[in-house]
A and B are shown apart, each in its own frame.
Chain A
């Protein structure tokens, strides 16, 4: 019989702790598959800052770093400058990358730091109990916007790909989603592209992944995927926001 699926070598044989319907597990697997397919198992280094996904350092069976909240791009910078031939990536949530760590993210991009940020946008602070994130949509109810996010009071959602695109140091920026198999496949392609662009030394790379958080959204796993598609994608359009000329097509 033909084997159609196997756990990638870069993914440890440990059960995920994530809530039912959380898409971290999918993205972890995609990252691990791309590492395997690129033959980078011995040269991949990941940085896991504070958030639900900090334990990616256990789930990926490669050498890993755990970083302070928001500081992963700075930690990644230190690693990559010492080990320039390694594949260095961070795995950051929206509070991490777009609030407390905005400075580190923007300047890693501005320097053209040859690292990849896997940016999980689920429009909420999940680990701390569903508070408003910088990417929380207008009208979205969270534990700190119980009446729905209001622009006048809480400010407006941050579009990270669009924010980084004008920086000359950014080489590849894409927004993908994992709400259905077609988009999961597209997400994997984007991660592969980002890693390849990094290893070619073209500059900073980021893949923003729209993800679901049924627990903190107060929805069932299926409803959450629907909400992602119907509410998040219109505000956060999918696609490539920056590509080096050679990567196009």
Chain B
């Protein structure tokens, strides 16, 4: 099939529609506007619903209701709006409802700005809202990967009855790239016998709930969730390795940063330096397995992020103190420049000398 040129934000929408999502609830915020614009037009074409809510708080709770009713449903926002959704996301995680949430991360904290950032990493991968829960977090690095991961996002959400967050930034949202859409097979949402759709004759009562008033029962619920998260950790780690095999220095970066780092790896290789890149595709579960494997050969790690150092904590946990883990970051909506990252690589590679 011929490739088509698509914006990242539109790809999120088309990917969701092709994954069988028929309900979108959201509130306007920059820099993800093209996604709601796209779905406001596209959803009616496939018999779906685009509904603009009165706030992100309400949007997350509309998602809660629609997911409990058995639909494939999504919402989308950026930093400040995602913060407002945290209440609903915690309830969604507690009630084990499948849904997809897109965070087109912008500069923070507070109102920050609308420029691309990765500063919501902690919020996404460490829980975000109240209580002991996890989101499955996917971090695409191209428009094609956005299309592909949207299908996986809905499938993972349904498979584990867990909210899935897609983490991207304004660069990926605004960027146009040629994509292969594949056959337009519209996926159907799977059967969900647990969904509360009305009592069936002789069937059990269904309750969509996150309240366990008796501590013994709430602990049981938490243990059950923890076991699910362990299964996800074992089965769903995803990453890309780039020129890693003989590398003595490993860059670790996700999303937009990883694209910059790929160019840096090539520059380093051209100058004879054994540098490789690990690009986490799932940032939760964190691809700890590959870090554990490469730390045998690699002498040092350099984590590159569009924040002041968040994912580096997960790299350090995986490295377990066996190798030095360095950091290079830009923040507040500023992007790392390949030349500067390369400068950092050269300095570290040469034992600290510039």
Contacts and interface: CB of A to CB of B under 8 A. Distances in A.
B290 interface: no
B196 A64 contact: yes
Contacts of A106: 54
A78 B198 contact: no
A74 B91 contact: no
Contacts of A45: 69, 196-198
A8 to B, nearest CB: 14
Contact of B62 (A61, A64, A65, A75): A75
Interface string A187-222: 000000000000000000000000000000000000
Contacts of B201: 42
Contact of A64 (B23, B58, B88, B207): B207
A67 B208 CA distance: 9
Interface string B179-201: 00000000000000000111111
A104 B58 contact: yes
Contacts of B95: 66
A42 B62 CA distance: 22
Contacts of A67: 61, 64-65, 91
B211 interface: yes
A54 interface: yes
B210 interface: yes
B57 interface: yes
A61 B204 CA distance: 10
A74 B58 contact: yes
Interface string A54-80: 100100011111111001001111111
B36 to A, nearest CB: 16
A107 B199 contact: no
A86 B201 CA distance: 16
Nearest to A106: B54
A90 to B, nearest CB: 10
A71 B57 contact: yes
A79 B69 contact: yes
Interface string B19-62: 00001010000000000000000000000010101110111011
Interface in A97-118: 103-104, 106-107
Contacts of A82: 23, 65-66, 69-71, 73
B314 interface: no
Contacts of A42: 198-201
Interface string B147-191: 000000000000000000000000000000000000000000000
A43 B69 CA distance: 12
B94 to A, nearest CB: 10
A220 to B, nearest CB: 28
Nearest to A71: B61
Given A62-B205, A63-B206, A107-B54, A78 B69 contact: yes
Interface residues of A, number: 32
Contact of B91 (A68, A77, A104): A68
A82 to B, nearest CB: 4
A63 B205 contact: yes
Interface in B201-224: 201, 205-211
Interface residues of B, number: 39
B87 interface: yes
Given A78-B65, A81-B51, A107 B58 contact: yes
Nearest to B91: A68
B141 interface: no
B197 A86 contact: yes
A41 interface: yes
Contacts of B71: 82
B261 interface: no
A78 B74 CA distance: 11
Question: Quick one: which of A41, A43, A62, A67 has the most chain B CB within 10 A?
Answer: A67
B62 A77 contact: yes
Contacts of A71: 57-58, 61, 64, 87-88
Nearest to A62: B199
Given A75-B61, A79-B68, A103-B55, A66 B211 contact: yes
Nearest to A78: B65
A106 B53 CA distance: 12
Question: Quick one: which of B68, B200, B211 has the most chain A CB within 10 A?
Answer: B68
Contacts of B70: 82
Contacts of B211: 54, 66
A44 interface: yes
28 contacts: A41-B199, A57-B207, A61-B199, A62-B205, A63-B198, A63-B205, A65-B207, A66-B210, A67-B61, A67-B91, A68-B64, A71-B61, A71-B88, A74-B61, A74-B64, A76-B65, A77-B58, A78-B25, A78-B62, A78-B73, A79-B66, A81-B66, A82-B66, A82-B69, A82-B73, A83-B198, A104-B61, A107-B54
Instruction: Enumerate the 6 nearest inter-chain pairs by beta-carbon distance, A residue then B residue, closest first.
Output: A78-B65, A74-B61, A78-B66, A107-B54, A63-B196, A75-B65
Interface of A: 41-45, 47, 54, 57, 61-68, 71, 74-83, 86, 103-104, 106-107
Interface of B: 23, 25, 49, 51, 53-55, 57-59, 61-71, 73, 87-88, 91, 95, 196-201, 205-211
Given A78-B63, A103-B57, 4 more contacts: A42-B200, A63-B205, A78-B69, A107-B54
